[in-house]
Amino acid sequence: MDIVRIPVPVASAPTGSTNAYVIGAEEALLVDPPSECSALDVALERRTISHIAVTHHHPDHTGGVRAYAERTGATVWARYGRTASFEAATDCSPDRTFRTGTTIPTSAGGVRVIETPGHAPEHCGFTAGSTTLVGDLAIQNGSVGVAKPDGDLRAYLGSLRRIGQLAPEMLYPGHGPTIDAPVETCYRLYNHRRDRDSQILSAVAEGASTVEAITDMVYDTEGLELRTLAEGTVRSHLQKLAVEGQLSWDGSVATT
Ligand SMILES: [Zn+2]
């Protein structure tokens, strides 16, 4: 499968860059252009972009959609039912919508859409041959954010299971290097969340009842941005644990 990964510098991204991808050559699909930039321009020089799509609507994955749509005249795709959020993120109206099972045609073969919500509600992956572009569902090192208000931990774990069961040969993530052990990586990320569940349950059992107090006990964060992410993640875990009946959580106070 003809897939090119193009790391584009993005100051706000977790690894300092976001991976854009191009699948195919004469009739190519461009995924997650974070900005209009020379790295992408060079990669696109000998290719004809016929389709543009994003894995989700965070700004480090959408910033270049409008510019490349205008330059290439490509068909712009958005997730079915999420076009308003797509337009807000990209300042660009989609031409078509997709959902699980939709196939986007490219010169390298059909690219199948698979909905993978959790990191963001509209999050999707793109399967090309035996590989899957997974956006911010997975990362080779560390973990990805599943933080409120966008994140939904139960949906995220379901999406990890779905990709793990598909067992692609390779995952192409939104940040960092390609993942050549997809099942192990999905398993590692799944277990990381289960470990965090246990830590949060223990913190609440020991008397921490607010998001702030639980975050203090569970995370070692410095800086406002990381702190905000950590608190949003704690909220995701509290909501999941409450749905499962493992603790009580009314949005401000948690008790066992
Ligand atoms: Zn994201």
Same domain, 85 and 208: no
pLDDT at 225 > cutoff 80: no
Which DSSP category does 240 fall into? H
Ligand 1 geometric centre to CA of 13 (Å) = 8
Ligand 1 geometric centre to CA of 236 (Å) = 15
50-101 per-position pLDDT tens digit: 999 999 999 999 999 999 999 999 999 999 999 999 999 999 999 999 999 9
Ligand 1 geometric centre to CA of 232 (Å) = 14
Ligand 1 geometric centre to CA of 217 (Å) = 26
12-38 per-position pLDDT tens digit: 887 899 999 999 999 999 999 999 999
Ligand 1 geometric centre to CA of 136 (Å) = 5
CATH number at residue 57: 3.60.15.10
Of 239, 225, 44, nearest to 157 by C-alpha is 239
Ligand 1 geometric centre to CA of 130 (Å) = 24
Same domain, 40 and 148: yes
166-212 per-position pLDDT tens digit: 999 999 999 999 999 999 999 999 999 999 999 999 999 999 999 99
* Structural domain boundaries enclosing 38: 3-190
121-130 per-position pLDDT tens digit: 999 999 999 9
142-177 per-position pLDDT tens digit: 999 999 999 999 999 999 999 999 999 999 999 999
Same domain, 36 and 91: yes
Residues pairing with 77 in the sheet:
96
Residues pairing with 172 in the sheet:
133
Asked whether 231 and 145 are in contact (CB, 8 A), the reply is: no
Ligand 1 geometric centre to CA of 123 (Å) = 9
